[in-house]
Chains A and B, each alone.
Chain A
């Protein structure tokens, strides 16, 4: 077994194809797989669908792949911080499916957990429920939402061992373990890679069973979207 790759480009070059659906961890710019995004830009594949809570900002995160017009569709809960996104959407170059954040998280989780669909109270009676089955269960209405999986998942972790057991850091965890679970091939950029046995089993936040490829993240910028300070 060897899951370790030299870098993002090496980990992605033989698996990234035109038209793929890619799951990307991160919330805003926090915990995003920066190296993977840069490598996908270098690989230049087109018509990609991205499942990601946000769409980055103009010059960082998934905004980089919008700039290079590699993204055909975004499945996200909030896309407000990105002018390139707005421009492409209004020009009809980009498709967007807006999904309530909890529904998005659960759809990805379900995808990784082998649950094809589930009923949720979120979005009943709203545009989100249009065209979907609504069922009354014990007196309350619920919308049927389908699972999401990805051809590839790209995620960032704070630490990985060589089997792919992962530890995340603070709120950089967010969608990362969920995306990792739901990717057919999951590529992890880890800030630190350690030997098998070095992570206490009680401290593993996502088992290596969900991880296929790992590389050590390099030169992470970890850009902050809104730097708010107390005096």
Chain B
């Protein structure tokens, strides 16, 4: 069995370190917040202008002036700050965000990512995705390994329009954890029900298995 969305999120939470400024995208990345250890001081960035995003409010604390980038009502934690959108993206583009986690339609062996448009379909826009991949110190992608037809979404080259070039270092999927370097994909960890070979086989593009490849732990 491949991993659940929550298991992917839980594994990604291990990338978070004490003191980190982290931006979590919509979907699986949002779930990562649920698994950050309580003894760690981590500030979540919301690109609409908040560092220090807290959980959803209780009914009596709902505030129309306090939302996240997904336009959901949220709260702000102690120590948080509000700022305008240019400052928010100065934080992102200027390399002051330690970790960005986002979803993707495709990632390729050169670290390119496609996650904002499918030609022929209604284009909704890239929002902050292009800035986030261009600016964060570390970008981790959370995604399903294969599409509904069983085809790998990890490719030799993305065939959908790029969001950014050479900006992805790590991909966590329902099959395993892969790093990307000059040699292409490298299987570093595999899901408990799979073998490293199966993960490699399910990956298109140049792929190898790390010597120290291990089973994923949560």
Contact of B83 among A76, A77, A100, A173 (CB under 8 A): A173
| A76, A121, A175: the one within 8 Å of B85 (CB) | A175
- CB–CB B65/A222 < 8 A: yes
A80 touches B124 (CB 8 A): yes
A224 touches B64 (CB 8 A): yes
A125 partner, pick from B59, B66, B71, B164, beta carbons under 8 A: B164
A225 proximity list for chain B (CB < 8 A): 67, 71-72
- Whether A122 and B64, one on each chain, are in contact in the complex, defined by CB atoms closer than 8 angstroms, is no
Q: Which residues of the partner chain A approach B92 to less than 8 Å between Cβ atoms?
A: 102
Q: Is A144 positioned at the interface, with any CB of B under 8 Å from its CB?
A: no
Across the interface, which residues of B come within 8 angstroms of A172, CB to CB?
64-65
Residues of A within 8 A of B47 (CB): 101-102
Report the Cα distance A186→B135, complex, angstroms.
Answer: 31
Minimal Cβ-Cβ distance residue in A for B161: A127
| Contact assessment for B71 and A102 in the assembled complex, using a CB-CB cutoff below 8 Å | no
Chain A: number of interface residues, binned into ranges: 35 or more
- The answer to whether A230 and B130 touch (CB under 8 A), given A27-B67, A30-B64, A101-B47, is no
A47 close to B (CB within 8 Å): no
A77 touches B127 (CB 8 A): yes
Quick check: is B100 within 8 A (CB to CB) of the other chain?
A: no
A73 on interface, CB distance cutoff 8 Å: no
Complex alpha-carbon distance, A209 and B103, angstroms = 42
A109-B86, A229-B57 known; A102 vs B67 contact (CB < 8 Å): no
- Chain A stretch 9-43: residues in CB contact (< 8 A) with chain B: 27-31
Q: Mark A95-106, 1 if CB is under 8 A from B, else 0.
A: 000101111111
In the complex, the answer to whether A122 meets B130 with C-beta atoms within 8 Å is yes
**CA–CA, A35 to B92, complex, Å?**
32
| CB proximity of B114 to chain A, nearest CB, Å | 9
Q: Which of B13-21, B48-56, B139-147, B172-180 contacts A (4 or more CB under 8 A)?
A: B48-56
B74 within 8 A of A: yes
- Pairs A–B under 8 Å by Cβ, sample size 9: A28-B48, A79-B124, A80-B125, A100-B129, A122-B135, A168-B84, A171-B67, A222-B64, A223-B64
Q: Which residues of B contact A (CB under 8 A)?
A: 46-50, 55-59, 62-74, 76, 82-86, 88-89, 92-93, 112, 117, 122-131, 134-135, 161-165
Other than A101-B126, A226-B73, A228-B56, give 19 A-B pairs with Cβ distance below 8 A.
Answer: A27-B71, A31-B65, A78-B125, A86-B122, A90-B122, A98-B126, A102-B92, A105-B88, A109-B86, A121-B134, A122-B135, A124-B164, A158-B65, A168-B84, A170-B66, A172-B65, A178-B85, A226-B67, A230-B58
